[in-house]
Structures are given as structure tokens and as C-alpha cells.
Amino acid sequence: MPPRLTTSTAWQQAELLMQPAFIRTIDNIRKQLDTSNWQGSYEDVQLWPEEATKMTKARVAQLQQQLEMASPEKKLEIEQALSQLPQPYPGYLLCLEYQGQQVKVDLWELCYQVCFVDYLAPEATADHLVESPEVKIDTSLIDEAGEVDWHRLDEKAQQQVARVFDNLPG
């Protein structure tokens, strides 16, 4: 679940920072993997809101499947039904492996640590998200002209990625 932003300014700042933060985070992961014993791969996952039951997930999957083959009239009905149900949130995991040990890191959570001040990830299970706390944009990543401070962004992304690798077992 994306962090909660409560002002339009915060939304604009988050929109400005998230894509560059994701790119810088991925690049810094690549650099760390170049010098690490750990091997890395990426995995796309779907995370569901906490209120989504197994029945709801199955119903969403069934409706999405029906939508692919539905007539134009039926598509509208199915889309309306889907709009009333919780939807999964796309997630991306960095899967690290070394000597039989495996560690998975949520890449969005890592980006949130770059973009927000003192961001703490909410507790989540393997396929559920809980409501995220309200967050505060790290405005030190934005220069006086309102643009991304690329140097500062890269430094913070590098620090966050280094922290992940420093905390790996072994």
C-alpha cells in the first residue's frame, strides 16, 4: 500500500521523486551486486489490502479472466463489479541469494526510505498490506528551483542500498 500523503504539495513532491528514486535505487543495487557475493534477481508480486479475503481474491481473478473474453456490453458490467472490489497493489522484490540463504527486499519500501523522512515500513504478510502511516517528503532531495537534487538523491539511495547489503546475514 503506498504511503499516505495528505496534501497536494506532498503528492506533487512524491510524483517528482519516486521515479528518479526507483532508478537510482536499482542502479545502486546493481553496483552493490557487482562487488558482492550475493546474487540478485527481481520478482513482480501482487500485494493485497488487508481486507481482501481468499474469496475476494478468487472473485477478482475470476472477473479479470471473464473480462478478457467478454462482449462489449458484458465488459462494462464486469468492470463495474471489479471497481467495487479491492485490487492488488503491484510490488517488486529484490531476491538475494548466497550459499543457500535467501533474502527478499521490497523495492518500493526501499524507495520510500529514500523519498520520505524517517520512513518505517508497515508490517505486512507475504500477500497482504496493512495501512501505511502518513509520511513526510524528504525535501532535502528537492533543490531551490523545485527540481530533483540528483546528487543528494543518489547519496541517499546509495546509503539505503548499502544499509540493506550491510545487514545481510553472514
**pLDDT digits (tens), the chain, 170 positions:** 567 888 899 999 999 999 999 999 999 999 999 999 999 999 999 888 878 899 999 999 999 999 999 998 899 999 999 999 998 888 899 999 999 999 999 999 999 999 999 887 665 444 544 556 678 999 999 999 999 999 999 999 999 999 999 999 97
Q: Give CA–CA dist 142/153, Å, rounded.
A: 9
Q: Give CA–CA dist 94/160, Å, rounded.
A: 14
Q: Give CA–CA dist 2/64, Å, rounded.
A: 23
**H helices within the chain, ranges in order?**
8-34, 54-69, 72-83, 107-115, 150-166
Backbone angles phi, psi at 167, to 5 degrees: -95, 5
pLDDT value at residue 29: 97
Decide: 28 and 161 in contact? Cβ < 8 Å: yes
DSSP 127: S
pLDDT value at residue 118: 85
From residue 76, how far is each of 23, 33, 56, 58, 96 by CA, in Å? 37, 47, 19, 20, 42
Taking each helix axis from N to C terminus, what angle separates 8-34 and 107-115, rounded to the nearest 10 degrees?
120
DSSP 15: H
Burial degree of 138 (CB within 10 A; 0-12, 13-18, 19+): buried
> Taking Cα atoms as reference points, which of 140, 134, 136, 132 lies closest to residue 156?
140
Q: The pTM is what? A: 0.76
Decide: 134 and 2 in contact? Cβ < 8 Å: no
